[in-house]
Amino acid sequence: MTHQPVRYSREGDIALICIDNPPVNAIGQSVRAGLIDCADAFAADTAARIAVLYCAGRTFVAGADIKEFGKPATAPFLPDVVARLEALEKPVLCVMHGTALGGGLELALGAHYRIGLPGLKTGLPETSLGLLPGAGGTQRLPRLTGLEAALEIMISARHISADQALEMGIIDELVPAAQDPRTAGLVKARELMAMGAGPRRLCDMPPPQVNKEQIDTLRAHTAARYRGQNAQMAAIDAAVSGAAMPFAEGMKHERALFLHLRESPQRAALVHAFQAERKVAQLPELDGVTPRAFSLLGVVGGGRMGSGIAVSALLAGLDVTLLERDASSAAQAQQTVAQMLAESVKRGKLTDEARTRILGQQFRTAESYAALADRDMVIEAVFEDMDIKREVFTQLDRHCKAGAILATNTSYLDIPQIAAMTTRPTDVLGLHFFSPAHIMRLLEIVVPKATAPDVVATGFAFGKKLGKVSVRAGVCDGFIGNRILQVYRAVSDHMVLAGASPYEVDRAVTEFGFPMGPYAVQDLAGLDIGFMTRQRKAATRDPREFVARWADEMHMRGWHGRKSGQGYYTYDTDSPKGRPCPEVEAIIAAERREYGVTPRNFSSDEIIARYMAAMVNESAHVVGEGIAARPLDVDVTLLHGYGFPRWRGGPMHWADTQGLNQLLAQIEAFAQEDAHFWRPAPLLVQLAQEKRLFSSLNS
Ligand code: 3HC
Ligand code: NAI
């Protein structure tokens, strides 16, 4: 018998409508059609007095089926399905469990009564996918919770806990003990029948009150916070306009806005980002490979990164021993970890009791390698210096148990060379975290050729446990992210040498959607870091490569960026976020004179054209060389580690929207000026010739 995604049955006088569409009961066409059939069956079933709508499996409906976006919409449409349920003459009770999101909550709002199971999370996250709630969410939720509360839910796209849902009236009751949805529904349905409860429709409720002043403030705040994005403002429009219209008119307006957003490039980019984040961990090399144990973790080096890595692991429930080089460094690391955990308590990520338990039972520092003998995995995060890494890995090799995984958090050093310092290179890999490691979600899993498949699988399992988005990277200078970063930073310096100011570059880049431009980011990281990187590379650098000497000059003057109050920007109490500095422009002007460059003007469009062309071209090199497994891996890396605007999908997705031929033509034109820097990536050339897109390599 073929699987029926929606089933109708009856128990006594209670009809049961069960959605069973794994994995998350998304509402695709077959579910919509099934729901209409079941609503008709219930209406016609004279023995049924009330219907219980619930879901099989781990969750109530998690939303409309994302896989249908980008394809022609097929009837019946979700707003009509919800309206059909709501219009029934007999009461409908909805039982929500798991993650009742988007179209899932909208479906529940069409029912006449709603109960939630413990652990329920609900919300309208459509704006995070470039959409607005398009099945009545912008009309029904404000009638239930008030306009401001409903708008906050839509704009933030956040998940609401069961307790909050109860408090806001989204559910009528929270089932006290863990029960399955069917049983909980039958119990409540009998209670409703005993009370003689009839249908109770949100569409019949009066529209919400509109406080114009509050809405004006919200619009201004939203426009600033979600700069460049369409969906959040459209959600406000749908809900606020709907409040001044009859329900049916509000629904029409919502539908029109929804269909418009559904076709928008932002929706396509955001859905791409959502799907790419899930696909990064789907790699053929991991199929059927069992990860090793990793619950006992060691960390070597408790500085900025080591402490963050330890905290990230502790928050995920792992047991951590952190090794430092001496007692005072160990005490400092202990303090840093305690402080980070205290901040997690402040941010509501951890209870105070959990913090005390973690520090008492899950965490300790050590100064002797013997303390790492029982560890399943050890992550090294000491200074970026090959001699120190050699000392550490030699000791780890000597003291760690057989089968223990030895990982390095190095940013740039050669991991196969580090692996070769041990007698077990198959157990060595890179786990490259981003700063601050307990907050940033990106983890590059850097895989030398010799690494054993179960070590790679353990890297991914570990990343998942820590709640990271893990991306596989091959070995090269900078792996995926920092390698691409070096190139778009270099193109920025080229433009500044030719006449653009660092402030013009930063402005164009932030207008494009990045939270910060490349020079503001360097100030934040510390100009001393860039100086050390340039020093390290000096011996092996191609003499044709342009290196901005103005950055060295700034370093020599003790301008280390934000931490010293002066970098590309000046930071003081008047300008805590920094203001342009004429002296920086003078230093740059002096260098232009040395090179005999007559400065020219750059428009924002030209800055972005060059910046993005450099980023895309290097990304194509990275994919073509197999450093990134697919274009989507580059997109996820740039989205989660480098502030690439999510609503543009990542550099490879963005390149597809521009047309690869056009991008290639631009790069070839730039190569006329500087053939060394602008080397068109063979993969880009090939795809452009074959009229294919990067996305064709993602499946
Ligand atoms: N449609 C289709 N597939 C979906 C889906 C959806 N709405 N939501 C999740 N999935 C798929 C995922 O792609 C994944 O597939 P895969 O195994 O092939 O990679 C699988 O379900 C499991 O998802 P996760 O790996 O994300 O599982 P988690 O347990 O970590 O998270 C979740 C579950 C919280 C439901 C999360 O998947 C999620 O946030 N989903 C999206 C929810 C959402 O945004 N809903 C709104 C959709 S738009 C809408 O409803 C429009 C309406 O207003 C008309
Ligand atoms: P850091 O200077 O803040 O910390 C390094 C720590 O290592 C210090 O606490 C030091 O006492 C300790 N240490 C040095 N030698 C040691 C030894 N022999 N045994 C035990 N501990 C020792 O450095 P940071 O920033 O934490 O960087 C660590 C590593 O992480 C480097 O390889 C760096 O390239 C990498 N990295 C840094 C990022 C960043 O943003 N800072 C991002 C990603 C990776």
d(CA 408, CA 427): 11
Q: Which two tokens stand for residue 292?
A: 């090793």
Return the HEC string of 203-246: HHCCCCCCCHHHHHHHHHHHHHHCCCCCHHHHHHHHHHHHCCCC
Residue 352 lies in a domain: yes
Annotated catalytic residues are 106, 126
Phi/psi for 321 (5° steps) reads -110, 125
Please tell me whether residues 455 and 308 are part of one structural domain: yes
Please tell me whether residues 343 and 465 are part of one structural domain: yes
Find the CATH number of the domain harbouring 129.
3.90.226.10
Whole-number Å distance, alpha carbon 388 to ligand 2 midpoint, is 10
Please tell me whether residues 337 and 464 are part of one structural domain: yes
Please tell me whether residues 170 and 225 are part of one structural domain: yes
Q: Which two tokens stand for residue 354?
A: 């959990």
**500 contacts 657 by C-beta, under 8 angstroms:** no
DSSP-derived 3-state class of residue 405 = strand
Q: Where are the beta strands (DSSP E) in 47-112?
A: 50-55, 92-96, 99-101
Q: Which two tokens stand for residue 94?
A: 């909805």
- pLDDT number for residue 536: 83
Ligand 1: residue of 24, 30, 260 to mutate (most ligand atoms within 8 A of CB) is: 24
Report the nearest atom of ligand 1 relative to the CA of 59: 35
Give the strand pairing for 6-11 and 14-19: antiparallel
Q: Which two tokens stand for residue 366?
A: 């050590």
Residue 39 lies in a domain: yes
211: left (phi over 0), alpha (psi -120 to 50) or beta: beta
Ligand 2: residue of 299, 300, 304 to mutate (most ligand atoms within 8 A of CB) is: 304
pTM over 0.90: yes
Residue 443: nearest ligand to its CA? Answer: 2
Report the nearest atom of ligand 1 relative to the CA of 282: 19
Q: Which residue has the tokens 């197999």?
A: 626
Find the CATH number of the domain harbouring 558.
1.10.1040.50
Whole-number Å distance, alpha carbon 274 to ligand 1 midpoint, is 9
Nearest Cα to Cα of residue 94 among 19, 149, 21, 41: 19
Please tell me whether residues 466 and 528 are part of one structural domain: no
- pLDDT number for residue 25: 98
Domain count, the chain: 3
d(CA 435, CA 83): 48
Q: Where are the beta strands (DSSP E) in 290-367?
A: 296-300, 319-323, 363-366
Whole-number Å distance, alpha carbon 423 to ligand 2 midpoint, is 24
User: Domain range holding 581?
Assistant: 515-600
Give strand pairing partners of 319. 296
Query: Between vectors from CA 53 to CA 47 and to CA 55, what angle results, nearest 5°?
Result: 135
Whole-number Å distance, alpha carbon 325 to ligand 2 midpoint, is 11
d(CA 91, CA 607): 60
Q: Which residue has the tokens 């190095």?
A: 410
Longest C-alpha distance within the chain, in Å? 92
Give the strand pairing for 113-116 and 50-55: unpaired
Residue 608 lies in a domain: no
Q: What is the residue with the minimal CA distance to atom 39 of ligand 1? A: 62
Query: Between vectors from CA 552 to CA 550 and to CA 557, what angle results, nearest 5°?
Result: 95
Residue 241 lies in a domain: yes
d(CA 468, CA 433): 9
Residue 262: nearest ligand to its CA? Answer: 1
Instruction: Report which residue type is found at 420.
Output: A
Pocket lined around ligand 1, Cβ cut-off 6 Å? 23-24, 26, 62-67, 78, 99, 101-103, 106, 125-126, 129, 131, 133-135, 137, 278
Ligand 2: residue of 382, 387, 438 to mutate (most ligand atoms within 8 A of CB) is: 382
- Residues 6 or more apart whose Cβ sits within 8 Å of residue 543: none
Residue 629 lies in a domain: no
- pLDDT number for residue 533: 85
Whole-number Å distance, alpha carbon 4 to ligand 1 midpoint, is 20
Please tell me whether residues 302 and 254 are part of one structural domain: no
Residue 530 lies in a domain: yes
Report the nearest atom of ligand 1 relative to the CA of 104: 50
- pLDDT number for residue 243: 97
Q: Which of 600, 626, 654 is the last residue of a domain?
A: 600
Residue 575 CB neighbours (<10 A): 11
Residue 170 lies in a domain: yes
Give the strand pairing for 99-101 and 121-123: parallel
- Residues 6 or more apart whose Cβ sits within 8 Å of residue 335: none
DSSP-derived 3-state class of residue 115 = strand
Report the nearest atom of ligand 2 relative to the CA of 525: 40
Please tell me whether residues 57 and 145 are part of one structural domain: yes
Please tell me whether residues 87 and 219 are part of one structural domain: yes
Instruction: Report which residue type is found at 195.
Output: M
Residue 217 CB neighbours (<10 A): 11
Whole-number Å distance, alpha carbon 424 to ligand 2 midpoint, is 23
Whole-number Å distance, alpha carbon 171 to ligand 1 midpoint, is 22
Report the nearest atom of ligand 1 relative to the CA of 67: 2
- pLDDT number for residue 228: 93
Give the strand pairing for 377-380 and 296-300: parallel
- Residues 6 or more apart whose Cβ sits within 8 Å of residue 594: none
Find the CATH number of the domain harbouring 407.
3.40.50.720
Residue 134 lies in a domain: yes
Please tell me whether residues 454 and 539 are part of one structural domain: no
Pocket lined around ligand 2, Cβ cut-off 6 Å? 300-306, 323-325, 329, 381-384, 388, 391-392, 409-411, 432-435
Give strand pairing partners of 8. 17
Give strand pairing partners of 115. 95, 173
Please tell me whether residues 354 and 431 are part of one structural domain: yes
Listed as ranges, residues in the chain with pLDDT below 70 are 1
Q: Which of 207, 240, 263 is the last residue of a domain?
A: 263
Element containing residue 648 per DSSP (H, E): none
Please tell me whether residues 313 and 439 are part of one structural domain: yes
**483 contacts 627 by C-beta, under 8 angstroms:** yes
Q: Which of 600, 629, 644 is the last residue of a domain?
A: 600
Please tell me whether residues 393 and 538 are part of one structural domain: no
Counted residue by residue, the chain has a size of 699
d(CA 361, CA 356): 8
d(CA 19, CA 38): 10
Alpha carbon distances (Å) from 291 to 403, 452, 454, 459, 502: 11, 11, 5, 8, 46
